[in-house]
Chains A and B, each alone.
Chain A
Amino acid sequence: MLEMRGICKRYGTVQANRNIDLTVPQGRILGLLGENGSGKTTLMKVLFGMVAADAGTIIFKGRPLTDHRPGDAIAAGIGMIHQHFMLVDAMTVAENVMLGWKRAGLWLHTREISQLIRNASKTYGLDLDPNAVVGDLSLGQRQRVEVVKAILRGADLLILDEPTSNLSPPEVAGLFLVMRRLRNEGRSVIFISHKLGEVLEICEEVVVLRDGEVTGQCLAANATRSDLARMMVGRDISALVQRPAFESRKEILSVDRLTLRDRSGFERLRDITFSLNEGEILAIAGVDGNGQAELVDVIAGLKSATSGRISLAGQEITSEDVRARLTAGIAYIPADRATTSLVPGMTIEDNLGLRDFDRPPLRRGAWLNRVAFRREANSRIAKFGILCAGPNALVQTLSGGNQQKIVVAREIGRRPSVLIAFQPTWGLDPGATRFVIDEVLSLCHGGGAVLYVSSELEEVLTLGDRIGVMFNGRLSRVFGRGEVDMTRMGLMMAGHDEGPDREDGGKS
């Protein structure tokens, strides 16, 4: 169905794609594997017409695609679901689907489109309400809106760019089901990912990219994880970290019956109670949208709880603002890099000082101490290995992994007593993920406490000394490591809880 030959693309000094050949037959699920910066996103952008290749040809369904824009690609039957969704938060699902679609007509056929959405929803198991406002949907649901958009426009080839970053195991399984149904209908899917396990599970064929080149191509049935990893990184990735058994230590953070009601009266957090000890990692799993974002925001000070108390080292901090909590030793790595933890338009140096600019040494009297900014930036860049053109480069020129390094360097670099990490490895390749995890662990060894909230089940199970699950605003019973496994976690994340243990607090 698709044949790409000799694709080359250069961005300045960076050769993003070097003579890449890619063939996708009809009715095939092909995995495109590679780290951040390997060129897979560029290749797909070339295919989809968002970027023009310097050289190479594309033949889709027997017809050449040259000088095409995304509109031409969509018309030809290629659908792309981006890692960062292209949806309008303020509009409903139906309106988003109609956006830019001629079929919606000059006088919008909303009812017709809504019915189409419901039909597709049923056929593919997407569970979408056409009248729901996208801004209220969880990331997993938003992704399904993107899928339905592509399907309704008649995509024969679907490109999924890192689709499982924010899905729980049941949701991932659901997505795979959708993909298999599409394949059975004769459509093809390109599954871009850096997650070896998933690629092996769903894909029939795997193509591995590294540094802009194809380094390996094989059938999934014949490949093992380590084979793929070697092709992807060029070396074996060591097994995930082993954690020593945890001995009880002093309590540092105490959360008591935290409740948050949002403006519409809906309870986002219900009676959350737990405690965190020095040197411990409390890992909280859960499907995105069950209150995790609110929980971390409340503890970090960005939102105020409706009721409940938070204490740090015995002092109550419930009514303290962000700055006060920062000074008291709470560091926060939010999930959203682009609009919360970093300012892409500012320099690296300024971003590193984003939270401390108001205090010495970065501040000297009424002035910003630029010398101190530079000094701190240089030392952090060196210490955390941030790849950049210098402290004066704009953050937006960095790759996702390096951007997260800046956030980590800033938050962990100040040796906080409590670190709140919310989806800290989202969208990062294995190398960068490893870096973040290493830093979190070294913080713990130094006595810091970590609240690690993530939808990456594997990370939660390996890192957490104690593990909890959030569902519908409530925190489950907190287990010690080794007391739960993936299956049970998956069930709890979907709300299927066993009996009376539910309301137990988290006090160890």
Chain B
Amino acid sequence: MRDLGAEPPPSEQQSTGRLFSDVGAWRAILLAGLAVTLAFVVTALPIMVSGRNPLLAYWALLRGAVGSVDAVAFAFNKSTPYVLSAVGVAICFRARVINIGSEGQLAVGGVAASWIALHLSQLPSLLLIPVSLVAGGVAGAVWACIAAVMRIKRGVHEVLGTLMLNFVGTLVVSEVLHGTMGEPGAGFPQSPLFPQSAWLPSLFPGTDMHVGIAIAVAAVVATHILFWHTPFGFRLRLLGSGDNVAAYAGASLVRGMLQVMLIAGGLAGIAGAIEVLGVHYRLIEGFSQGFGFNAVAIALLAALNPLAVLPAGLFFGFLEAGALAMQREIGVPSSLVFVIQGLTMIFVLCAMGVGFKQQRI
């Protein structure tokens, strides 16, 4: 008996496509580039309507992003927390755990790191910085686990849990800044400046670019390896495929959810620590704003592929860095960059949905 072999994949079965399919990574990159270009073209319309020249605006954007060494350093710094939180969110989504709590996890991570930096300042830099980062990670992990435990014990959906904990986390920051960690006499809720020993060293001396990006890259690579090459990652992929098959293969939903939330929370917490130790050099109110949802957006843009989170996160970071320059020089509001980000996402998702083979799970 001869089977006709490959049954053609019925077209009604396509869901999310895959950005880097076997057919061609080049084709995927081309489509991503096309999506970005289209987003810029469409955003040019409101710029023109407001009476400004979009080409000049984009030129300012470009220069703001990569025009000088300082600009590039600034952009990398901006990208770091995005990449870190997004890669955690990506593997959560892969395991069908909808974690949108990066903001809260980042916030408490910053609090923990600040506490260490302020209270253990007698430690030498070589110890102080790693300990602060670890503290941030632990705090973020614990924060994420609260939502996970609520889901496991009480059935509170993690979307709700993580979302609410975002607000709580941000308020925790405000609370400590108005209390124990606040700088007396400052006009703005902020902590005292950290001792220099706590500041993140820069990756390239003479620039503002701190080591955070190196940590982010390491996290991306580690997550990729963890996801594809370990039994732990295999289990996550099973959890993401469905309850039935996960149970059949012996993958525990409870353990999987806890583990993946720990990782995502930890990464977001480290991102928060990096923000306070490397960018602001203190804890300031509202430093965690906006990171949560952007993390989700970047993770989706990367088609939940850990490695692809790096370029996606860099894209977002560089865009935002350039947007501030665009606002300064041309007067185009920097919030327009959110339009570009959103449109890029939509177009990339459209490109992924059209005609690609099913994403490899």
Contacts and interface: CB of A to CB of B under 8 A. Distances in A.
A358 B250 contact: yes
A346 B228 CA distance: 12
B9 A396 contact: yes
A282 interface: no
Given A345-B361, A396-B358, A340 B7 contact: no
Given A340-B248, A396-B13, A37 B4 contact: yes
Interface residues of A, number: 56
A350 B234 contact: yes
B168 to A, nearest CB: 33
B6 interface: yes
B268 to A, nearest CB: 24
Q: Which of A334, A345, A355, A393 has the most CB of B within 10 A?
A: A345
B4 A399 contact: yes
A215 interface: no
A287 to B, nearest CB: 22
A273 B347 CA distance: 60
B360 interface: yes
Contacts of B232: 366
A234 B231 CA distance: 45
A457 B9 CA distance: 32
Nearest to A354: B249
B229 A368 contact: yes
Contact of B3 (A50, A339, A366, A431): A431
A334 B245 CA distance: 10
A322 interface: yes
A339 B242 contact: yes
B8 A402 contact: no
Interface string A203-219: 00000000110000000
B178 interface: no
Interface in A29-83: 35-39, 50
Interface stretch (A10-18, A113-121, A175-183, A465-473): A10-18
A225 interface: no
Contacts of B9: 396-397
Q: Which of B7, B13, B238, B241 has the most CB of A within 10 A?
A: B7
A398 interface: yes
Interface in B277-311: none
Contacts of B233: 368
B5 A36 contact: no
A37 B5 contact: yes
A397 B234 contact: no
B68 interface: no
Give the top 3 A-B pairs by smallest Cβ distance, nearest first: A431-B1, A37-B4, A345-B361
20 contacts: A12-B6, A14-B4, A37-B5, A39-B4, A339-B242, A340-B245, A341-B245, A346-B237, A346-B361, A354-B245, A354-B248, A354-B249, A357-B249, A366-B230, A368-B231, A368-B233, A368-B234, A397-B9, A399-B7, A402-B5
Given A14-B6, A326-B250, 19 more contacts: A36-B4, A39-B4, A212-B4, A302-B247, A322-B248, A332-B248, A339-B244, A339-B245, A340-B245, A340-B248, A345-B358, A354-B248, A355-B249, A366-B231, A397-B6, A397-B9, A398-B6, A399-B7, A402-B5
